[in-house]
Amino acid sequence: MSAENRHSRRMPLRMRVDCKPLSGPEVQDIMEGRGYSELAFASLALSRPRQGMLPSRVKNLSLCGLCMEGPLALSQGEAAALDLHLPDERVALKALVEVIWSQPSSDDDKPHVCGLRFAAMEEESTRRLKRYLSTAAGNGSDEAAGVTHRARR
């Protein structure tokens, strides 16, 4: 996607995100209005991912989505659940995303990279993300300079 097609500015940064591809039945439940129960409950930002989630890294982030790199080779159109670990926050931000583009790696030593669009996020999580991006943009933040942060235990 070109920069001209983006709706919000992307912040280059590095932070942990845990990802779980959604199964066909989970996507079907969401599409039929039954929701996704894990989106509604709070999870502490732990040093290791929750069961079923794989650790990855955010390369850049906006209010509309993010670029993620990690061990998962997600395909365009696939859906996933995320736990996003904002710096200095004790509770992970949860979101459902859709894969917009994907660049699988042919080398096992290099991460797969994909562009994800936020498809669903609780209202409070959206406020937290807006607040974080606003603060990071105003500070010239360490994240924008490429400094990584660890989630609190």
Q: In sequence order, which ranges of 18-113 are alpha helices (DSSP H)? A: 24-31
The per-residue pLDDT for range 92-108, each reduced to its tens digit, is 898 999 999 999 888 87
The CATH number assigned to the domain holding 125 equals 2.40.10.220
Beta strands 11-21 and 93-103: pairing type? unpaired
Contact between residue 83 and residue 100 where contact means Cβ atoms under 8 Å apart: no
Give the chain's domain count.
1
Contact between residue 82 and residue 18 where contact means Cβ atoms under 8 Å apart: yes
Question: Within a domain: residue 25?
Answer: yes
Question: Within a domain: residue 2?
Answer: no
The per-residue pLDDT for range 115-139, each reduced to its tens digit, is 999 998 889 999 999 999 998 887 6
Question: Within a domain: residue 4?
Answer: no
pTM of the full structure: 0.77
Structural domain for 101, as ranges: 9-139
